[in-house]
Amino acid sequence: MSGVEMGDVGAVSRSVGADGPRVTPAITAYLRAVYVLREEGSPVATQRIARELGVSGPSVTNMVKRLHALGLLRHARYHGVALTEAGERVALLATRRHRLLELYLVEALGYRWDEVHAEAERLAHDASEELAARIEAALGHPTFDPHGDPIPSREGIVAPVADRRLLDLEPGATATVCRVSDRNPAQLRYLGKLGFAPGVTVAVLDLLPFDGPVHVRVGSTQRVISRFLAAAVSVEGRGADRAAGDEGVARRHQDRGLG
């Protein structure tokens, strides 16, 4: 693992000794940011990391160099950064804790799905894998968080995720919402009020030209939304499969919480 060893709760140290540098919350945040940005597609440039974490470009450059030296990231000029095997493991465990906490906050404590990201971010840094495992068991071993994002298993297995957007469907197509972007809490809250949530059936009724809005049916209710919002909703099912060129996307959802 590139000269590093993995502890039980995701802390990493150099193999030269137990007193070597360990992964701090800041390092974990960087690795998880790379993982999440990679999920969205396109190369993970340092500028994207800076925007994601709200830090300066030079700060990102310095941290990327540090993570490269630790064997947690690879960085190629003009090609962005990529997680090494060791960095991937840290990011997976951090993402696992974060998304389990999000689901627990919704299911057990009654949080709304647009409230949980920041709260889970604060809690996840101090959560052990033992706590994550107990939460996982208490929730019935879920594989997706409230927004439809996959929860990595303790072994690092991640369920496949449909990448077809509602915006990509042709008029007349029907599909099932499988994921709603949680990048913007206010946007997430608004989409929830409109009825969008994993497991809900949607149909595209019309897509107006010249970047016009999208007319959709959400459950049994007709809505008009912007293309920007339609791009924040991922779908699956036969209608989505046809829009994707019959590539096929399928997965089971469980424990989808919506406050």
Per-residue model confidence as pLDDT tens digits over 217-234: 999 999 999 999 999 999
Q: How much is the pLDDT for 125?
A: 85
Mean of the pLDDT values across residues 134-153?
A: 96
The confidence band for 163, taking pLDDT boundaries of 50, 70 and 90, is confident
Nearest to 55 by CA among 81, 21, 29: 29
pLDDT band for position 239 (50/70/90)? low
pLDDT at position 249 is 30
Quote the pLDDT of residue 205.
Answer: 97
Q: What is the pLDDT of residue 232?
A: 96
Residue 91's Cβ-count burial label (10 Å; 0-12, 13-18, 19+) is buried
Higher pLDDT, 131 or 5: 131
Q: Which fold has domain 164-243?
A: SH3 type barrels. (2.30.30)
Query: Could you tell me the residue ranges of all domains in the chain?
Result: 1-159, 164-243
pLDDT at 245 over 50: no
Q: Do domains 1-159 and 164-243 have the same CATH topology?
A: no
Is a pLDDT exceeding 60 seen at residue 10?
no
Angle between helices 25-39 and 85-107 (to 10 degrees): 90
| Secondary element (H or E) of residue 242 | helix 238-243
User: Hey, what are 79's tokens?
Assistant: 């090609």
Region 225-246 average pLDDT: 78
Q: What is the pLDDT of residue 238?
A: 67
The reported pLDDT for the residue numbered 19 is: 43
pLDDT of residue 45: 93
Cβ burial, residue 195 (10 Å; 0-12/13-18/19+) = middle
Of 155, 102, 158, 154, the C-alpha closest to 128 is 154
- Cβ atoms of 167 and 216 within 8 Å: the answer is no
| pLDDT of 203 over the 60 cut | yes
Q: What is the mean pLDDT of the chain?
A: 85
- According to the model, what pLDDT value does residue 258 have? 43
Percent of the chain with pLDDT over 70: 83
Tell me the CATH number for domain 1-159.
1.10.10.10
Cβ 145 vs Cβ 219: under 8 Å: no
